[in-house]
Amino acid sequence: MKLVVSVSPHIHRDISIPRIIYTVIIALVPAFIWSIYSFGIRALWLVIVSCGVACLTEAIVQILIKKRRTYFDGSAILTGMLLAFNLPVKVPLWIPIVGVIFAIVVAKQAFGGLGYNFINPALAGRAFIVASWPQAMSSLWSAPKFGAISDMNVITNVAPLGVLKMNSGNPAIVSMLNSGESIKNLFLGVYGGTLGEISCLFLLLGGIFLIAMKYIDWRIPLSYIGTVGILMQLFYMFGITPVNGIFHILAGGLFLGAFFMATDYVTSPITREGRWVFGVGCGVITVLIRLWGAQPEGVCFAILIMNCFVPLIERALKPKIFKQIKILS
């Protein structure tokens, strides 16, 4: 009999980290295909460039610091893919290159690589791009080649949350955003936005697949999306926001963030109670940024801020100790 001596946890599943990561990538494929169908071949090039540079950057860093090569374990590919999913399709190719280099070098490898980073690398790369080139990230939108509300995106040249930010006092635009037709199109992905956020349907299917495989916990997506929906609906009823909670759930990158980035193993709590707190915290910060922040979207910074609070959440919500045994010397 083979005796393995190790620290907890002692219950393991017969799966590997690469298998989990590549399964997450597979879950993103439907939304990826939809983005290519919606925006054209440039969407494909953005993802290829971002993923390729991510793998190359990780390989160079690991060779330079003489660290074990892990650039094909899927984590670099997933970082590149998620970063590309957070970009408008018209951005020049050097933007995802700079963003993914920052994500891999600064947010990931500088802290020791996979398993040691305290913030989500893809979101860190996006935040760096937004801070450095805000004009490119807020003006290079593209409406899909079809859709009932795509005309609105062509006129304003921004995504739906940007439309709301710029036209919150326009009754005609607000009525359009609150309409059942707009809600349906937001769910199906018939509107402008970043590369991977536009189809809530395919993101939801991918998220449900990962939950069914037990690769992610349902508590974070449910508490995150639910918090945004409930708070926004309450604020809508009190006249603080002109659009309802369903619009705020479906518009922007909430589904992408809730299912594929807030659930990152390394940067989210491991306890059940901690995951509820983490999801609610992400939701509250997202709402605050969307209503009173300079940016129309708040998912990226909400998750990054809550990533920083994970150690405190884990310390405050330690599992109960059922029995202690004192060893007498």
- Per-residue pLDDT band for 147 (boundaries 50, 70, 90) equals very low
- Per-residue pLDDT band for 323 (boundaries 50, 70, 90) equals low
CA–CA distance, 221 with 136 (Å, rounded to integer): 29
Residue 129 in this model has a pLDDT that exceeds 70? yes
Are 161 and 252 within one domain?
Answer: yes
Here the tokens at position 93 are 């190719």
Rg of the chain in Å (alpha carbons): 21
Are 186 and 298 within one domain?
Answer: yes
- Per-residue pLDDT band for 12 (boundaries 50, 70, 90) equals low
Mean pLDDT of 300-306: 96
Residue 5 in this model has a pLDDT that exceeds 70? no
Q: Is the pTM of this model over 0.85?
A: yes
Mean pLDDT of 212-237: 96
Are 56 and 204 within one domain?
Answer: no
Query: Residue 112: which domain range?
Result: 17-137
Whole-number Cα distances in Å, 230 to 165, 222, 242, 277, 311 = 20, 12, 15, 16, 27
Where is pLDDT greater, at 295 or 147?
295
Burial class (CB in 10 A: 0-12, 13-18, 19+), 212: exposed
CA–CA distance, 251 with 160 (Å, rounded to integer): 6
pLDDT digits (tens, 9 = 90+) for 234-283: 999 999 999 999 999 998 899 999 999 999 999 999 999 999 999 999 99
Is the sign of the CA dihedral 308, 310, 313, 318 positive or negative? negative
Residue 65 in this model has a pLDDT that exceeds 50? yes
Instruction: Please provide the average confidence, as pLDDT, over all residues in the chain.
Output: 87
The verdict on residue 192 lying in a domain is yes
Are 85 and 164 within one domain?
Answer: no
Instruction: State the SS3 of 117-179.
Output: CCCCHHHHHHHHHHHHCHHHHHHCCCCCCCCCCHHHHHHHCCCHHHHHHHCCCCHHHHHHHHC
Of 53-62, 68-77, 245-254, 285-294, the poorest mean pLDDT is in: 68-77
How many domains are contained in the chain?
A: 2
Are 70 and 96 within one domain?
Answer: yes
Of 12-21, 31-40, 61-70, the poorest mean pLDDT is in: 12-21
The verdict on residue 5 lying in a domain is no
